[in-house]
Homo-oligomer: A and B are copies of this chain.
Amino acid sequence: MPDSVPEPGYIKYIEHWGSDKRIIEAARMSTNKGFKGWPKDEKLLGYLWRNKHYTPFEMAGMVLEIKAPIFVFREWHRHRTQSYNEMSARYTPLPDENYIPTLERIKMDGGKNKQAVGVGPKISDVRANIWLKDLRFSYLVSQNTYAEALVSGVPKELARLSVPAGRYSKMRASANLRNWLAFLSLRMAPEAQWEIRQYANDVAEHIELQFPRTYALFHETALSANVG
């Protein structure tokens, strides 16, 4: 399956601050020295990373905009070191966009991830398709109930009661590099749910683009260890 966020979800780069070089500069505060240049300072960068001297990695960071289903945001928001501003159904109706998994996704072999596996023997195409049809119907009923509430004069903050976990929402998220890497180490891992893993993979690409040397170190080590 494609390792990227399914439509209409997206990850959009807003901005970043700092750089691999800035991390070195911050670390060199401890010895009252500065950046010496690449590739020479790759050794120090690797030392910091491997010895878990993570504070210099707090001197850089990134702001992203994300569109994802609510159940993905529910997992995401457990990361309490990020800053969030999300679309709110208290203030504006959530557009009628809902996540529909592919047949391939539903039948996916979860590997070591027991949560990704169904209760019975592998689900048949027939049953999966029946559920997908019913899911679409459930989404439709939820939306009709929501739309009716809004038209009838039910307060928006109550109208949302029927909105399903599969409904898309949007947010901006900001974190420093240390905390983005902690997020990635948990959410790119095979135990993470497939959906948030696609988002994490996309976040990783933006991180790699702006912080290539740090990302290379993370990639080598962090998926088998914890970033903290």
Contact = CB atoms under 8 A, between A and B. Distances in A.
**Copies of this protein chain in the complex:** 4
Contacts of A69: 161
Contacts of A27: 85
Given A115-B91, A155-B118, A15 B18 contact: yes
A226 B193 CA distance: 24
Given A63-B17, A78-B77, A157-B115, A85 B162 contact: no
A207 to B, nearest CB: 15
Contact of A121 (B22, B153, B154, B161): B153
A32 B170 contact: yes
Contacts of A86: 29-30
B137 A87 contact: no
A13 interface: no
B85 A119 contact: no
Interface in A21-61: 22, 25-27, 29-32, 51-52, 55-56, 58-59, 61
Interface stretch (A1-9, A125-133, A198-206): A125-133
A115 B58 contact: no
Contacts of A216: none
A172 interface: yes
- A interface majority secondary structure: mixed
Contacts of A130: 148, 152
Contact of A83 (B16, B51, B105, B176): B176
Given A127-B152, A160-B71, A172 B25 contact: yes
A137 B139 CA distance: 12
B61 A26 contact: no
14 contacts: A17-B63, A32-B170, A51-B191, A69-B161, A70-B74, A70-B165, A71-B161, A77-B77, A130-B152, A142-B142, A160-B165, A164-B164, A226-B226, A226-B227
